Structure 1
Amino acid sequence: MKNFTFKKAAVLSLFSIMFAGVASAQTDSTKMMSTSSSETGTAKVFGGIGQYNTFSIGVNAGITDGLVPFAINATNKFKVDLGYGAYLRQQLSHTFSLQLDYFGGKVHGIDKAGTSKFGMTEYKTDYNSVALSGVFDIASVSFLHRKNSVNFYGSAGVGVDFYKVKSYTAEDGTIIADPYGSTINRKVFAPVGLGVKFKLTDAVALNFGYTVNFVQGYSFAGPSTYPNFSHYSYTHGGLEFTLGSKSKKNIEWVNPVAMMYDELYDAALRQEVEVLKGRVGNVETAVSDLKKDADGDGVADQFDKCPGTPAGSVVDGSGCVIVFPKPDTIAATPKGTAYSNIQFEFDSSVLRTSSYPVLDATSADLRASGKGVEVDGFASSEGTAAHNIALSKDRANSVKTYLVNSGVDAKKVKVKGFGETMPIADNSTEDGRVLNRRVQFKQK
């Protein structure tokens, strides 16, 4: 009796200390919920779990009982005894952790008079167990508060329960002490629980929980309870201590929603966004300038070398009017006269149909006389010198191809390209440039 009184006193003392801590934690929680300062430290979103402390240890004590809600119980009267436990936990994310538990203690069941279900009216059992559980935090991710000081959780796991029935009382009042002798039953069991934590400091939390242990056996209460598995409850409170560097925060108390908000509104990031906005604005302005075409000739004002051209004018790439050659500006030789200059369009080596009579007359003379000829290609001054050299050679080759196809011996025709050198007219005017786009013959 004295021993039991001591147990009750110890349990009540522990709970008194814990409830005092709860009051302190709730006050601290109110203060923390009302502040807008950041609790993210140096951690970054998607920065990895290494930014946080993830290991913790805990100790607890409380009361055990054979009564479990929503189940067929071996006894029906509330009769408590002492339980205790310890655990090691690793948080794997903001909301999930793995926990290795040790539980120990006694379970005392008793029936009200005349209500026995399984052939006994009272039992006493000692137990020790180990289990691995998954713990699911319910309030870590919050859209309501920047900081959390209260966290609810649920847990479920599996383990091995080692229990020994110390005694049980038969229906006729016979007390059967140590019914199984020195036998210690070893059964698989499943602990399922709910709880709440209160943050006292960054490293210490107050933990209250209720766990139901479902034992895969029928003898926990002494006589067989078949077909109903044995079970008992453990209501407990205790302290949890975070392990790791003081410079890191416990991931369980970090709100990732607040982290994302803070990272989004980071001063350096906002400044970078403003710089990007400025760059986008400059690009938009440049694009708008490129679209400006005051005279409507299709060449942007930035590149128009001849602004103000009349509407409907045909212009070149620099915005200047293209003046097509008139018949009287071409070499003053009768049409179809052999060896007359061959004219070309701007940046083209394609023969005009108007050049065919001259080429036919030249071919006829070369075939009749057996003479040779040098075909020299030229270009106007638009474009680079290298481009114009290549263009002039292409023009000369076009003429040679025509002559050879008409029967002239290819060995009698040599080709040279002189580019924009040796102009025959002024390259500063379009009329002059038209005349310089030519092929001329040099007889041998």
Structure 2
Amino acid sequence: MKHLQLKKASLLLTGLVIGGRLFAQTPDSTKIMTKDYVQPFSDGSAFRTWSVGFEGGVLTPYSIFGIKNQDVHSPHEKIGYGGFIKDQILPSFGIQANFLTGNVGGAVTSFNEATGGYTSFNTKLNYAVDLAANFTLANINWRHNKSAIQPYLTVGGGVVGYSAVVNNNGTEVTQARTHEFYLPVGAGFKIDLAKGVNLDLGYQVNFVNADNFDGIVTGSTNDRFSYGHIGLEFALGSRSKPQLATHNPVASMRTEYLMDEQRLQIQVDQQKAKNQQLASDLANTNAKLDKLTVDSDGDGVIDMFDKCPNTPAGTQVDGAGCPLPVKKPDVKVYVTQEDRKVVSEAVKNLEFDFGKSTIRDHSFESLNKLAQLLVSKGFNLKLAGYTDNVGSTEANLKLSRERAEAVKTYLATQGADASKIQAEGYGKSNPIATNKTEKGRQINRRVEFSMF
């Protein structure tokens, strides 16, 4: 029986090693692969990080460490089953909560006083719950887009609750139910069956922090039992997102590079097409130059576009070849006290919504009078916006500029010449009152007018 158990464990380990070396890779392609593509350095919301698993397998007191120093000499195989829920934190690291239940049994083939005459046992594994770290080993791959097999290692800690029934020369003795700390250490690999569905093959050894797991207390060595299982893992979340545990971030980096390369090539091709069109247009233009260079009256406008032919020599003309109007002498207009009063009223009544560049309605009447003054006398106007010291320098500078521009825009809609209005923003510089009080800050939130 001992040799049979050893063969089974050897076959299981051989399967794990071979599975880990296969890696069943998806072959590379010269085309850009956009399936399961996620922009590099994206956060966890771009993936399915949570998953659940269900499994069943064999429980036995025998493990890859053998049965030396164990109370049992002839382990029996029993059925066990369980499940887990996992949060994949990094492509190669996750935290999972595990649950396991079933039965563990064996026989004592050599009688001695230490074993107290017990010949066999069966331990009911009421529950085994633990929190374990899961290390995925082969999802980051520099040679292939994706690995179809992901080997993994697990290690954790938890609580196992159990009760043992031992056979003492034909008499069954039930031990009291108890619970102890245990340490599960395991390895295995997962095979991708479909998007978000994985076949889970694993093996773990569970070290119990007690010697009464098999109902027989002898020696100084704690008991242990192993669990080989097969199960299915299902990723939770949107099917449009890849599972983080099986995602290869290197493939996304490669896809990003190829996409950039393709975009650049498209831009180069488009520019080549534009250059060819420009060369064709230039050739056609050169062929027609002789027809477009005749200027009969010498005014600088070719006959083809000259709407006023035979202009007398020395006459200044516009782009259509017609004489320019005689420029009238500038008439000086002076700023009167009444004009300054109009400006003062506009400044006094100007208010904006808090933290915005929206002019309040009661300011429009004074601004309308200012616009009429600018239209009638052709004055130039400079607008200087200021804020208090609340907020960042960049935000205040932006807000002061937007408020000055808002006044300029409104005056232009009322007929003022926008080219004669200069709008600047100076943020929280040049305060005219203290910024330590609300009243002072209100005074500093202003737009100054300078008319000339």
2:139 and 2:146 in contact (8 A); partners too: no
Corresponding residue for 1:91?
Answer: 88
Compute the displacement of 1:177 (Å). Answer: 2.5
Residues 205-255 of structure 1: CA deviation (Å, up to 9, x unaligned)? 100110111111111111213411111011100111110001101011111
Corresponding residue for 1:82?
Answer: 79
Compute the displacement of 1:41 (Å). Answer: 3.4
RMSD: 3.0
Compute the displacement of 1:102 (Å). Answer: 0.6
Indicate whether 1:175 and 2:171 are aligned.
Answer: yes
Compute the displacement of 1:113 (Å). Answer: 4.8
1:40 and 1:254 in contact (8 A); partners too: no
Corresponding residue for 2:27?
Answer: 33
Compute the displacement of 1:34 (Å). Answer: 5.5
* C-alpha distance 112-133 of structure 1, shift in aligned 2 (>3 A): same
Compute the displacement of 1:69 (Å). Answer: 2.5
* C-alpha distance 133-265 of structure 1, shift in aligned 2 (>3 A): same
What TM-score, normalized to structure 2? 0.50
Structure 2 unaligned spans of 5+: 1-14, 272-452
Corresponding residue for 2:142?
Answer: 143
Corresponding residue for 1:133?
Answer: 132
Tell me the SS of whatever aligns to 1:261.
Answer: helix
* C-alpha distance 39-162 of structure 1, shift in aligned 2 (>3 A): farther
Q: Which residue identity lines up with residue 64 of structure 2 in the other structure? A: P
Give the whole-Å Cα distance in 2 for the aligned partners of 1:144 and 1:107.
44
Give the whole-Å Cα distance in 1 for the aligned partners of 2:54 and 2:171.
35
Q: Identical aligned pairs, as a percentage?
A: 27
| Paired residues for 1:229-244 under 5 Å | 229-244=222-237
Corresponding residue for 2:212?
Answer: 219
| Paired residues for 1:39-78 under 5 Å | 41-70=36-65, 72-78=69-75
* C-alpha distance 123-33 of structure 1, shift in aligned 2 (>3 A): farther
| Paired residues for 1:255-294 under 5 Å | 255-267=248-260, 271=264
* C-alpha distance 122-39 of structure 1, shift in aligned 2 (>3 A): farther
Q: 139-148 or 66-75, which moves further after superposition?
A: 66-75
Structure 1 unaligned spans of 5+: 1-18, 279-444
Corresponding residue for 1:121?
Answer: 119
Tell me the SS of whatever aligns to 1:237.
Answer: strand
Give the whole-Å Cα distance in 1 for the aligned partners of 2:202 and 2:79.
15
| Paired residues for 1:190-229 under 5 Å | 190-229=183-222
* C-alpha distance 118-241 of structure 1, shift in aligned 2 (>3 A): same
Q: Which residue identity lines up with residue 177 of structure 1 in the other structure? A: V
Compute the displacement of 1:35 (Å). Answer: 4.8
* C-alpha distance 203-175 of structure 1, shift in aligned 2 (>3 A): same
2:48 and 2:238 in contact (8 A); partners too: yes
| Paired residues for 1:238-253 under 5 Å | 238-253=231-246
Larger radius of gyration: 1
Residues 119-161 of structure 1: CA deviation (Å, up to 9, x unaligned)? 4331100111111000000111112321111010000001110
Tell me the SS of whatever aligns to 1:53.
Answer: coil
Compute the displacement of 1:29 (Å). Answer: 4.4
Compute the displacement of 1:114 (Å). Answer: 5.0
Q: Which residue identity lines up with residue 227 of structure 1 in the other structure? A: S
Q: Which residue identity lines up with residue 175 of structure 1 in the other structure? A: T
Q: Which residue identity lines up with residue 69 of structure 2 in the other structure? A: I
* C-alpha distance 201-257 of structure 1, shift in aligned 2 (>3 A): same
2:23 and 2:150 in contact (8 A); partners too: no
1:66 and 1:74 in contact (8 A); partners too: no
* C-alpha distance 230-129 of structure 1, shift in aligned 2 (>3 A): same
Q: 201-210 or 116-125, which moves further after superposition?
A: 116-125
Give the whole-Å Cα distance in 1 for the aligned partners of 2:215 and 2:30.
58
Compute the displacement of 1:193 (Å). Answer: 0.4
Q: Which residue identity lines up with residue 125 of structure 1 in the other structure? A: T
Q: 189-198 or 40-49, which moves further after superposition?
A: 40-49
Count, aligned residues = 246
Give the whole-Å Cα distance in 2 for the aligned partners of 1:86 and 1:257.
31
Tell me the SS of whatever aligns to 2:90.
Answer: coil
Compute the displacement of 1:101 (Å). Answer: 0.6
Indicate whether 1:155 and 2:154 are aligned.
Answer: yes
| Paired residues for 1:287-436 under 5 Å | none
Tell me the SS of whatever aligns to 1:200.
Answer: strand
* C-alpha distance 46-76 of structure 1, shift in aligned 2 (>3 A): same
Residues 277-329 of structure 1: CA deviation (Å, up to 9, x unaligned)? x9xxxxxxxxxxxxxxxxxxxxxxxxxxxxxxxxxxxxxxxxxxxxxxxxxxx
